[in-house]
């Protein structure tokens, strides 16, 4: 028995963890941020796979029977490979790894009225075409979904370094959203397809106002991922009974512990200062 593992390349996974913890507070969690090697978004397929696989194994070693990849880049580039080729050969093949893309896609097709969806994400996620492929499966019986994607490689490095209110981030967000909305002005829903982006929701909303698109619905992933996890645990009692329930969370980072503690406390909106521990590979 053990906690649920939550993994991200850095701080972004906290936006998913916040919602999971809110919905399922009874469980124990281990959050692991690979801040020391973030961002993953411009890394090669092999690197993202190797780093993610290493993190998943570390969370298994820490006793987690279930790991959530709270990262689109890792979900897009490594999840299937880990599920199909790594898990069956591990000493305990009953452990499980889940991602964030499918729960998001299942929800977004119910949100859009026009069928025109925008995606902002890392370069790795956009180039993987994971959203295009998953959304294509949602089309049956509905109006066709038209997805327009924009890779935003500058956003994550600025968020990771804590520059959330910087003029540089504002300029980048405005430039990328302008290009996205010029490519398809009929977009009514934008998927925040990187778990770092909900950390700058108010900036994105401000820019959409300035671009005369205040009506656009932003789709962060915390809610669909947490409800999908709840549903998964209801459908899989053999996994649910392996999860410890003491409402405890431990935080680990491969980056600077003090910076992690400060930003994690801010992002999670905690009144108490979060304590984290260092992890090395
Ligand atoms: N937060 C991650 C995602 O959802 C990765 C960002 C990065 O490391 O570039 O894609």
Tens digits of residue pLDDT in 175-222: 999 999 999 999 999 999 999 999 999 999 999 999 999 999 999 999
Helix ranges (DSSP H) in 62-111: 72-77, 79-81, 101-111
Q: Give the ligand 1 atom nearest the CA of 70.
A: 4
Q: Which residues contact 256 (CB under 8 A, 6 or more apart)?
A: 35
Q: Mark whether 211 and 241 lie in a shared domain.
A: no
**Listed residues 178, 199, 219: the one ending a domain:** 219
**Ligand 1 pocket member 77 (CB < 6 A):** no
The per-residue pLDDT for range 96-109, each reduced to its tens digit, is 999 999 999 999 98
Kindly tell me the burial class for residue 53, based on how many C-beta atoms sit within 10 Å of its own C-beta (0-12, 13-18, 19 or more): middle
Q: State how many domains the chain has.
A: 2
- Determine the Cα–Cα distance for residues 139 and 244; give it in Å rounded to an integer: 39
Beta-strand runs (E) in 24-77: 29-33, 66-69
Residue whose pair of structure tokens reads 């020391």 in the numeric block: 36
Q: Identify whether residues 137 and 207 lie together within a single domain.
A: yes
**Domain limit, last residue, from 193, 219, 245:** 219
What is the position in ligand 1's atom list of the atom closest to the CA of 194?
Answer: 4
The answer, yes or no, to whether any atom of ligand 1 lies below 6 A from the CB of 33, is no
Active-site residue, 71 included? yes
pLDDT number for residue 138: 77
132 and 204 together in one domain: yes
Whether residue 8 contacts residue 30, with contact meaning beta carbons closer than 8 Å, is answered with no
Whether residues 138 and 228 share a domain: the answer is no
Is any ligand 1 atom within 6 A of the Cβ of residue 40?
Answer: yes
Q: What is the pLDDT of residues 50-79, one digit of tens each?
A: 999 999 999 999 999 999 999 999 999 999
Same domain, 114 and 197: yes
**Cα(66)–Cα(243) distance, integer angstroms:** 8
* Domain of residue 212, CATH code: 3.40.50.1860
pLDDT bucket at 139, cuts 50 / 70 / 90:
low
From the alpha carbon of 73, which atom of ligand 1 is closest?
10
Burial class (CB in 10 A: 0-12, 13-18, 19+), 164: middle
Residue 199 sits in the same domain as residue 257 = no
- Binning pLDDT at 50, 70 and 90, where does residue 267 land? confident
pTM equals 0.95
What is the domain range of residue 16?
4-99+222-278
- The DSSP bridge pattern shows strands 249-253 and 217-219 to be unpaired
Is residue 241 part of the annotated active site? The answer reads no
- Whether residues 166 and 193 share a domain: the answer is yes
- Any atom of ligand 1 within 6 Å of the Cβ of 263: no
19 Cβ contact list (under 8 Å, min separation 6) = 222, 223, 225, 226
Query: Same domain, yes or no, for 201 and 107?
Result: yes
Q: Which two tokens stand for residue 101?
A: 């893309």
Question: How far away, in angstroms, is 237 Cα from ligand 1 center?
Answer: 31
Pocket test for ligand 1, best of 73, 125, 220, 222 (most atoms within 8 A of CB): 73
Q: Answer yes or no: is the C-beta of 34 below 6 A from any ligand 1 atom.
A: no
């Amino acid at each position: 028995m053990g906690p649920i593992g939550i993994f991200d390349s850095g701080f972004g996974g906290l936006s998913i963890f916040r919602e999971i913890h809110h919905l399922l507070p009874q469980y124990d969690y281990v959050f692991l941020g690979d801040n020391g090697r973030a961002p993953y978004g411009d890394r090669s397929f092999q690197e993202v796979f190797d780093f993610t696989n290493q993190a998943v194994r570390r969370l298994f070693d820490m006793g987690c029977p279930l790991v959530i990849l709270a990262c689109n880049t890792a979900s897009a580039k490594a999840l299937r490979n880990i599920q199909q080729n790594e898990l069956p050969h591990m000493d305990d093949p009953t452990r499980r790894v889940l991602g964030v893309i499918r729960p998001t896609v299942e929800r977004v097709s119910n949100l859009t009225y026009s069928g025109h969806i925008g995606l902002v994400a890392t370069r790795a996620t956009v180039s993987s075409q994971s959203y295009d492929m998953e959304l294509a499966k949602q089309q049956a019986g509905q109006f066709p979904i038209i997805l327009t994607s924009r890779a935003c490689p500058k956003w994550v490095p600025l968020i990771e370094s804590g520059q959330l209110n910087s003029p540089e981030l504002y300029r980048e967000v405005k430039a990328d959203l302008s290009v996205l909305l010029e490519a398809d002005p009929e977009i009514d829903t934008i998927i925040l397809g990187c778990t770092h982006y909900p950390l700058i929701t108010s900036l994105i909303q401000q820019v959409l106002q300035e671009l005369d698109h205040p009506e656009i619905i932003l789709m962060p992933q915390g809610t669909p991922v947490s409800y999908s996890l709840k549903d998964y645990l209801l459908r899989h009692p053999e996994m649910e009974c392996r999860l410890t329930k003491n409402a405890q969370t431990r935080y680990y980072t491969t980056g600077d512990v003090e910076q992690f503690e400060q930003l994690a406390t801010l992002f999670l909106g905690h009144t108490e200062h979060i304590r984290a521990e260092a992890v090395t590979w």
